[in-house]
Structures are given as structure tokens and as C-alpha cells.
Amino acid sequence: MLCQVTQKQASWVWTALRTARLHESKIGEESITDFLVLQLKKAAKGAYYIESFTRPKEKVTGADWELWFTGSSGKWLGLRVQAKVISIDGTRYAQLHYKRKDGTFQVDQLVSDAKKHGAVPLYCLYSYWKAPEAGKLTWPCGTFKKSSRLFGASWMSVNDVQALKPTGLDSLKLVAKSLHPFHCLFCCQGYANGDLPTRASAFLNMSGYSTEESSQLVDEPPYYVAQMLRSQAVREDLIDMPDQNLYRVTVLREADSEESNLSVDSAAAR
């Protein structure tokens, strides 16, 4: 079910950005992520459990998103994500090589912060384009037939972003060659069977998303994730967030078939 849901939500992002382009209206990365997480929660129906903590915007100096996956194996996989949205005219990802006020590139800070928290750094790109605008693309999924709509939300490795950084290039035609559809992380069983963190870790390793600094499967999540999961009435002031670049933490636990009637064992802070 999680596989189908993530495909549906990527298509939803594609449609939303198509409408925004039609009306020449910009939608920001944080708004798209807000609705993406909401839609994933609404569609869960016991097949998986998802909870998300979002720091108040006035307390944030960056906008990183951490995703933590777990399942029946008891292992955890963390992702440190930076989201970017395509320009209204569909030609480029203007903030791909964003430079921070201290002169550092955001991608380098992302890699550094991911290492501190035992997570894999990567980019999530939100997109819509008309067929010719992306050029000729190789469909990277061997399980599902090609659909441009599934690129509505896509993954891009920090290795590819860093390779482009010296050039400053961020065009759709160039970037699109490096994208994997959102569902690949959740659906792919071509590299490993098992629960969500096991499958996702294998996909990241085999698809070039791992870095020398990044960790993979771990036995326990960071302490701030454990704080989220321990309380049934989490308040924002009780979550000890580790850095000011982290805006959102989302925990997704895939359920076993026999767990479908269990209640959610974690709580959200809003």
C-alpha cells in the first residue's frame, strides 16, 4: 500500500505545480512538504504509521527535513532532506546551489548535518514540466511503466548536486537526468527484500545516493526521535531539537500485515 500511496502523492504534487504554473502562482517547498506529509498520514489506514514534528518557523534558520524509517526488523534508516521546487516557468531549480549567509553552500551543510545525525543526505525535488522541456529521459524504474507524473516528487543525490556546484548549472534538462521518482525509495525490491528501511537502504546504496560520510541502517534513532515516540502528548517545547537547520522530523513505521489493527504508538506535535 505504501508503494501505491507514494506514487499517488507524487502525481498530486505534479498536478498542483501544473495548476500553479497555469495561474503563474508560486508554491514553496515547505507548503508542498506540509501537504505531502498530510496526505501520507491520511492515506495510511493501518498499513503504516506516520508522525511528524515541525519546529515553529520563527525558530528556524534553515529548512532541512529528516525522515526516519523503521519496520519489523527493528532497524532504522535516517534521511536528511533538502527540498527544492522547480521554477514557475519549468526551466530550472533556481535554489539548487543556494549559498548561505556565512558563505557556505547549502549542500555542504546538508552533508555535514546528516553525518552528525547518522542520516543519508539527499534532495527531494518537486516538479512539473511539459513533455519536451525535460529532454529525452531514461526511465529509472524497472517495476512500473513510465509516467512523467511520477516525477512530481523525485530524489536527487548530493553527489550529483555537488558535481554541478562548480558550474552553477541548474536547468531542468540537466537536473532531470539525475532524478529517481519518489516511489523508488518505498517500492524498490530489486536490490533487497524485507521491511521499509532494509529496502530503502539497498536502493540508496545501489543507486549512488550514499556518501563516504553517510550512515545507513542503525539499531536506534537519535534521541530527539525517541522523544517524539515516547510521549502521547508531545508539546513543541518538550522536543530537544539538535540544531537550528532542522525544520521538520517525520517518522514512518511500516506495519506488518498482522499489525494492521494496532493503534498508532507515537504522537505528533504541531
Q: Is 268 domain-assigned?
A: no
What is the total count of domains within the chain?
1
Q: Is 243 domain-assigned?
A: yes
Residue 215: pLDDT over 70 = no
Q: Is 169 domain-assigned?
A: yes
Least confident segment among 34-48, 88-102, 222-236: 222-236
Alpha-carbon torsion (110, 84, 191, 38), positive or negative: positive
Lookup: cell for 76: 532504522
Q: Which residues contact 206 (CB under 8 A, 6 or more apart)?
A: 191
Lookup: cell for 67: 525522515
pLDDT digits (tens, 9 = 90+) for 41-87: 999 988 899 988 887 665 555 579 999 999 999 999 999 999 999 99
Q: How confident is the model at residue 268 (pLDDT cuts 50, 70, 90)?
A: very low
Q: Is the pTM of this model over 0.75?
A: yes
Q: Is 83 domain-assigned?
A: yes
Q: CA 255 → CA 38, 162, 187, 220, 261, distances in Å?
A: 18, 36, 15, 18, 10
Domain that holds residue 95: 2-259
Residue 263: pLDDT over 80 = no
Distance between CA atoms of residues 95 and 110, nearest Å: 14
CA-nearest of 224, 6, 225, 213 to 120 is: 213
Helices (H), 24-68: 29-42
Contact 154, 181 (CB under 8 A): yes
